[in-house]
Structure 1
Amino acid sequence: MRFEGVLSAWNQDAGYGAIRPRGGGEEVFVGLAAFPTDGEGPRLDEPLSFEIVTARDGRKQAVNLKRLKAAPFSPALREATGVGRARVRRAQRKRRLGLAAGGAVLALVLVVGGIKLWPPGAKPGEVATAR
Structure 2
Amino acid sequence: MRFEGVLSAWNQDAGYGAIRPSGGGEEVFVSLAAFPTDGEGPRPDEPLSFEIVTGRDGRKQAVNLKRLSRSHLSPALREANGGARIRARQAQKKRRLGLMAGGAVVTVMLIVGGMHWWQPTDRTGELPVMKR
Deviating above 4 A after TM superposition, structure 1's stretches of 4 or more consecutive aligned residues are: 77-80
| Offset at residue 38 of structure 1 (A) | 0.1
Are 1:2 and 2:2 counterparts? yes
Give the number of equivalent residue pairs: 80
Compute the TM-score of the two structures, normalised by the length of structure 1. 0.57
**Aligned counterparts of 1:63 and 1:33: Cα–Cα separation in 2:** 8
| Offset at residue 69 of structure 1 (A) | 1.4
Q: Which has the larger radius of gyration?
A: 2
Q: Secondary structure at the match of 2:78?
A: coil
Higher helix share: 2
**Aligned counterparts of 1:75 and 1:67: Cα–Cα separation in 2:** 19
Pick one of 80, 83, 90 that aligns with 1:76. 80
Unmatched tracts of structure 2, length 5 or more: 85-132
What value does the CA root-mean-square deviation take over the aligned residues? Answer: 1.9
1:48 corresponding residue in structure 2:
48
Give the percent of matched residue pairs that are identical in Structure 1 and Structure 2.
Answer: 82
**Aligned counterparts of 2:82 and 2:33: Cα–Cα separation in 1:** 22
| Offset at residue 18 of structure 1 (A) | 0.1
**Contact map agreement 1:5 1:22 (CA 8 A) in 2:** yes
| Offset at residue 75 of structure 1 (A) | 6.1
Higher relative contact order (CA 8 A, sep 6+): 1
Compute the TM-score of the two structures, normalised by the length of structure 2. 0.56
The structure-2 alpha-carbon separation of the partners of 1:66 and 1:25, relative to structure 1 and needing over 3 Å to count, comes to: same
